[in-house]
Amino acid sequence: MKELLIAEILKINKKTIAIAESCTGGLISHTLTNIPGSSKFFRLGIVSYTPEMKISVLKIPKNLLRTKGVTSGETALLMAESIRKIANSDFGIGVTGIAGPSGGTKKTPVGTVYISVVGKDKSITKKFFFKEDRISIKKRAKDSAFKLLRECL
């Protein structure tokens, strides 16, 4: 399991993580906190599901959400940077997307997900498209976030 390997790497290296989730609804945080000893590496997880919470809690500029969109690489990156700063953690993950079945547009269809992982020395932001049902999209986004985190570790 990817999350067990990530947990071990974080624990061995005495690194911490914080997560700002939107379309995954807390699934990434839930998965990590199911691992015994997760308090050694897991600092904070929030689900900022609405634009208002991204603005007020994560301090994402309203103008950025208006111009780039709630579901964008720029938003995912700022979510990751903000949660890392708020939690004073070594790594931050930001995930935003549209899990459906509604809410998609021609420009940003259901299944579009942006994930950003930010560390002190490296950051990665990627766009994904998962053409599946809501639950599968959330699971694939979680697995993709773990894969990107592993690349940053």
Average of per-residue pLDDT values in the chain = 95
Q: Is the pLDDT of residue 137 over 70?
A: yes
Would the pLDDT of 1 be above 70? no
**Domain boundaries, given as residue ranges, for the chain:** 2-152
In this prediction, residue 24 carries a pLDDT of: 96
Percent of residues, the chain, with pLDDT higher than 70: 99
Q: Name 128's bridge partners.
A: 113
Residue range 93-120, pLDDT digits in tens: 999 999 988 888 888 999 999 999 999 9
**Structure confidence at residue 104 (pLDDT):** 84
Could you tell me the CATH superfamily of domain 2-152? CinA-like (3.90.950.20)
Query: Using CA atoms, how far apart are residues 77 and 71, in angstroms rounded to an integer?
Result: 11
